[in-house]
Structures are given as structure tokens and as C-alpha cells.
Structure 1
Amino acid sequence: MKRDLFPEHILSEVKRGKFSPFYLFYGENEFYKNYVIEEIRKRFIPDEARELDFQIFYADEMANDLSPVIEFVSSFPFMSDKKVAVLRDIDKIRSSALNTIIGYLNDPVEFACIIFTAQKPDFRVNFFKHIKDSKKAIQFKQFNEFETISWIKRKAKEMGIEMKHEACAYLYYIVGNNLYELNSEIQKLFSCYGKDSILGLDEVKFVASPLKDYTIFDLIDTISSKRLADSLRILNTYLEREGKEKVLSILGMLIRQFTLIQKTKAILQMGGDIKRVQKEVQPYLFLAKKLIKQSHFWTEEDIDDVFLRLSEADAYLKMGLSGSLVLEQLIISICS
């Protein structure tokens, strides 16, 4: 029985500057699939050539016609020595259509690589059997407990953080083996504690665990004051208590808040005082004082960037991405 390769084997090949003309990445571990794909892309396709020599295709957009993929990899590279194509969800393509590219797999061009991705391919189908027989099928399994904890430690180390084993285990037990969510949590730790930090259980609990009940106004205030760690902690507490459906309310409140901050800053730059802020922006004195204080944390360029990131977050939510993850990344991006 032919055994599939491990992802680590592909990464080792890539580090040595080698790749095969085609691979099948299959299994449930989407995060690790995307990580390996990006490592291949970075190694062989420079950023400036990405638009021309790297392309992602989606099976549900192909209408069972795979000729665009073959045409892309068959043409010479424009700005690099290699070309890389990714065809996602290949197991959604009819077997009759898959048979049309077996000929290419038998005689592929040397300068290109096609990465097919799938969840549960049927290896009785000729196309998948051909790749398996060619020893180019790589299974991406979900990590078990030991693998996940080891991955957390390695990922943190890549970011310049030393996480003690107990801290890694705690993060695993509260998040599970979802690498997307774990990656987000590690990014939060990095944003809060910085490079060269040594993190134990208490430090991880401080960021990852809710401490008290907060209101949406507490959240908006901490974000407006660039208090990153407090903002992330309050966000988790609030969504856990109120439910994920509050995500859009938070986004709407942030748009309103930064509109007020922008107006307040403009008044102050034109020589206005708190009375004018009360008249034109916020009539309540204590809130006007708070807006003036918060406006000092942001430059005009910062505020423009915040509105751009808010627009991006809204688009991600409409695409169906996890609301809590979208907001966490939004807060990290604007408060860091």
C-alpha cells in the first residue's frame, strides 16, 4: 500500500528550492494547507510577481472546465522563474472533467506547479488514484493534543515569544485544535506583550480569559484610547455574554465613534475649544472631555486608516467569516 507524504516533507523540499509539478493537499486541516501553500508561494514567487505568476482557481467557478488552469501553468512565467496555480476543492469537479487533465499530469511543464486541494477525495477515481500512485498526495490531518500544543509553542517562538508548556496547554484547552483561532490568540499575546516576552499561565489567562461584565461603551472607550489588551479582553467578555450577533452593533458603534473623534480633532486643529465640541459634536460635557482626550491618540492618517479597516471588516463579515475573529483582528490592527 502506497503511503502519502507528510506536509513536513513538502516544506523540507521547498526549503531546498525544489517542488513537484503537482500535488494534492487533502484533509481537514485548512490552516496548515494554506500555510504550506504560502510557503511555496513565498519561496518561488516574489511578491512583485504574485499577480502574474501565482493564481488561485475555485472549483465551483470552473463549470467543470479545467482548461484555464492548464493554460495558466503552460504559459511561461512573467517576472519569476516559476509559476504556481492552486485549484481549490478539486473534489467538487466531475470525474469526467478530471480525466481531461491526466494527460497534462503525465507530461507537465517543469517551471510550474499545480496544487489541488480537497477535503475527502475518492481515490477510486482515476485522477486521484493517479496522483496517489505518483506519490504526490499529502494528507493534512487535524492535530491531536500533543501536536497542537507543540504547534502553539513553535508558532509563538516564530513571533519571538517564549510560551511555557503550561501556558500552551491552557490555550489549547480553552480554544481546541482550531489553528485559525489559536493563531489569532497567539497574535493577541504578541500584540499585548511584545517580542522576547516569556509568558506563563497567568499572562495567557489575563489576555484570554474574561474578567468581568462590560458594556459596549467600555469596549468602545478602550479601543478609542488604544488600550489593546483591555479591548481584546472586554470584547471576549461582551460577546460571550451578549452573543455573536452583537458583532454588527459593535462595528456600527466604532464607525460612529471614530466619526466623532474625527470631527473633534478637526475642531481642535482649527483652534476650537470644548464649548465648540459640545455645540457641534457632543453636548454632554463629560463625553466631550473624553472625546478630546481620545482624539490625541490618533493622527488624521490613523483615522483614515481606521475607516479603511472598518470597511474591510464589514466586507469580511458579509463574506461569512467569524465575527469574533474579524473584530479581534480589527482591534489589533487599529490599536497596535
Structure 2
Amino acid sequence: MNISPILTDIKKRKFQPVYLLHGEESYFIDVISDALEHTVLNDAQKGFDQTVLYGKDTDFSTIVNAAKRYPMMSDHQLIIIKEAQDLKWKDDELLLKYVEQCTVSTVLVFDYKYGKFDKRKKLYKAIEKKGLVVESNKLYDDKVAAWVISYIKEQGWNIHPQAAALLSEYLGTELSKIVNELNKLMLNVPKEREIVVSDIEQNIGISKDFNVFELNTALAKRNAFKAYQIIDYFAANPKSNPLVLVLGNIAGYFTKVLKYHYIIDKSTAAKELGVHPFFMKEYELAARNYNRRKTFTIIEALKDADLKSKGMNVGGNTSTKDILTELIFTILN
């Protein structure tokens, strides 16, 4: 999602009287809320005209009474309700009446995290009409690398697509965690130089030679020696390479390979697969090495490996090394 226009308006001091920031991805909620907290009032004014409340410790009567006050030292007063999901929203009639005739000098912000606000409620529609509603959705796995590239560019750096993909493979979709790691990278890599895979290894602790990204590449190339080297490393370092993460990444990779087989216009494949064009040669190679029938077999083998990792459908040893060795053998043969 693109929150830049919202942040631009805040920077220009074009404030809304009510903000409802809700959704499963807390990162965008925090960015907008923090921007308001750092812009609406200066440090001297905050002692008089800023109020921070927490959902579990307050109620709508307290919030509305505060919102109806006029600022003392500024043109605005700012009220932020953190963890607003903990409010008793069944009793929101008082807030609804306030929103319908809200105080223009008040900026009222609800940080409603880890879930979506009920869009059927009258209050939701009232805030949409009088203020601003922002739904902060989690990124899909295949969108994270592109978001990393975009975020880095906004800060004035550049990152190689392979490095962005490696980060997204290992850090998942939690954007706050990803941003923390990216900020570390930018402290250690000069602006004039592109961030590459070796920077990830040195600053974040991900091995550039023994990771799921390299395992998928080895499988695409049918490089058995490299593939078995990597799974030996995984077995020796299980905390850094959890089996569930490894299996999930391989499954995601071969799902894309299967999808590639069914794309009629291959010129649109990068967009269809949700990957950077840089990686298309590898997917083309993987598709040549694994036809449709074989790819279906691999996906079935991955399902079986997943069951074994959970102690189900067990027929023999279920150590990380044994499960991965059997899986890689099935893929390559």
C-alpha cells in the first residue's frame, strides 16, 4: 500500500479531525501515527495539548470529553488512542455522535492493530465521511521483495534484487522487523554503493552460500552436490534454518515453477509470478528441468515432507536431515 500521500498531507499540516488506522499490519499504522505525533505539535506544546490513552485503560466518555476540549497553546490538540482494539466498541454511540459533529481543532487518532475494524458499523461510515480511514493490510509473501526495493529507494539507497529476495525469504512479512534490519544495512553501506548479498551476510547474519534462496537455485540447476551441501548446513544449524521455513520456501518456489508452465504469454511471466524480472532466467531453467508432471510430483513430495515434519504419515526417521535428504532425492531424480 502507498501511504505517501497521507504522509505528505501531514507534513503540509493538512490534518483530518479523526483518523481510524486499522488492519493486520502494524507497521503502516505506526508510521502514520508517529508522523502525526511528530508534526501536529512541537515539544513545548505537547505538555498542554497532547493526550495519549490506551484502549484497555480508557472508555469513550473519557475520549469524547477530551476531544471536545479546545487547545491551549496551539491551533490543534492531538489525542492518540493506542491499542484501540481493546476498547469496548459495542458502547461506541457516544463516539459516533462526536464524530458526526467533531471539533475541528482536535486531531483524534485510533491505532486499531492486529485486525480489521467492522466496516458494517455506523461509526466506520461516519469516520470515512468526516475523517480518514486507513486499512493496513499485510503484504503477501511475493510482494515483500518489491516493497524492500521500494523502501530502500525512498531512503536514497539501492539494493540488488537478489539481496532483496534473500531478505524477504528469511525475514518473512513482518514489516517492522524488516525495516529494523534495513536501517542497520543503511548505516553500514554507503549511499553511493548498491546493497548486495554479501552485505546481508555481514550485517544480518544470513549465510550467502547456505540459504533457502541458494538451495532453490541449486535445485533449478539440478546441482545435486550444492543442494546436499546446503541441507547438511541446515541440519547442523536448525535454529537458523527451521524446517518449516525451508519447506515453505521450496514449496513456494516450485508452485511458481508450476504456474510458469501454464502462462501462455511468457513475456508477462514476471508479473504473473510476482517476482523481479532479474529472476526469470532461473525460473525458465527450472521449468525446462522440471516438466509439469514432475513439478506436480515435487509438490506432492513437499506435502509428504511437511506431514513428516509434524509427526504425521511417518515411515522411518523424521530428523531434519532425513526429511530434507529424501525430499531432495525425490526432486532431483
Shift of 1:104: 1.3
Q: 1:35 aligns with which of 27, 31, 34?
A: 31
Indicate yes or no: 2:91 matched with 1:97. yes
Which residue matches 2:118? 122
Q: Secondary structure at the match of 2:81?
A: strand
Indicate yes or no: 2:14 matched with 1:18. yes
User: Where does 1:47-66 land on structure 2 (aligned, <5 Å)?
Assistant: 47-62=43-58, 65-66=59-60
User: Where does 1:90-169 land on structure 2 (aligned, <5 Å)?
Assistant: 90-118=84-112, 119-132=115-128, 134=130, 136-145=132-141, 147-169=143-165
User: Where does 1:229-308 land on structure 2 (aligned, <5 Å)?
Assistant: 240=239
Percent identity, please.
Answer: 18
Q: Structure 1 length normalisation: TM-score?
A: 0.54
Which residue matches 2:194? 198
Q: Secondary structure at the match of 2:14?
A: coil
Q: Secondary structure at the match of 2:80?
A: strand
Contact 1:161 1:190 in 2 (8 A): yes
Contact 2:33 2:111 in 1 (8 A): no
Q: Structure 1 101/178 Cα, relative in aligned 2: closer, same or farther at 3 Å?
A: same
CA RMSD of aligned residues (A): 3.3
Q: 1:71 aligns with which of 59, 62, 65?
A: 65
Amino acid aligned to 2:70:
F
Which residue matches 2:82? 88
Q: Tell me how far apart the structure 2 counterparts of residues 32 and 96 of structure 1 sit (CA, whole Å).
A: 26
Amino acid aligned to 2:189:
Y
Q: Structure 1 146/81 Cα, relative in aligned 2: closer, same or farther at 3 Å?
A: farther
Q: Structure 1 76/91 Cα, relative in aligned 2: closer, same or farther at 3 Å?
A: same
Q: Structure 1 39/150 Cα, relative in aligned 2: closer, same or farther at 3 Å?
A: farther
Q: Structure 1 31/88 Cα, relative in aligned 2: closer, same or farther at 3 Å?
A: same
Instruction: Tell me the number of residue pairs that the alignment of Structure 1 and Structure 2 aligns.
Output: 213
Contact 2:19 2:132 in 1 (8 A): yes
Which residue matches 2:319? none
Amino acid aligned to 2:81:
L
Contact 1:44 1:81 in 2 (8 A): no
Q: Tell me how far apart the structure 2 counterparts of residues 83 and 176 of structure 1 sit (CA, whole Å).
A: 38
Q: Structure 1 61/157 Cα, relative in aligned 2: closer, same or farther at 3 Å?
A: same
- Deviations, residues 155-200 of structure 1 (Å, cap 9, x unaligned): 3345553222222221111111211111121122133335544311
Q: Structure 2 length normalisation: TM-score?
A: 0.55
Q: Secondary structure at the match of 1:57?
A: strand
Contact 1:160 1:197 in 2 (8 A): no
User: Where does 1:162-177 land on structure 2 (aligned, <5 Å)?
Assistant: 162-177=158-173
- Deviations, residues 130-156 of structure 1 (Å, cap 9, x unaligned): 324557322111123464334323433
Indicate yes or no: 2:194 matched with 1:178. no
- Deviations, residues 237-284 of structure 1 (Å, cap 9, x unaligned): 99947x9xxxxxxxxxxxxxxxxxxxxxxxxxxxxxxxxxxxxxxxxx
Which residue matches 2:248? none
Contact 2:17 2:130 in 1 (8 A): no
Which residue matches 1:332? none
Q: Secondary structure at the match of 1:109?
A: coil
Contact 1:29 1:141 in 2 (8 A): yes
Q: Tell me how far apart the structure 2 counterparts of residues 67 and 73 of structure 1 sit (CA, whole Å).
A: 10
Q: Tell me how far apart the structure 1 counterparts of residues 148 and 49 of structure 2 sit (CA, whole Å).
A: 32
Q: Secondary structure at the match of 2:29?
A: helix
Contact 2:99 2:130 in 1 (8 A): no
What are structure 1's unaligned runs of at least 5 residues? Answer: 212-236, 244-336
Q: Tell me how far apart the structure 2 counterparts of residues 83 and 168 of structure 1 sit (CA, whole Å).
A: 41
Q: Structure 1 50/160 Cα, relative in aligned 2: closer, same or farther at 3 Å?
A: farther
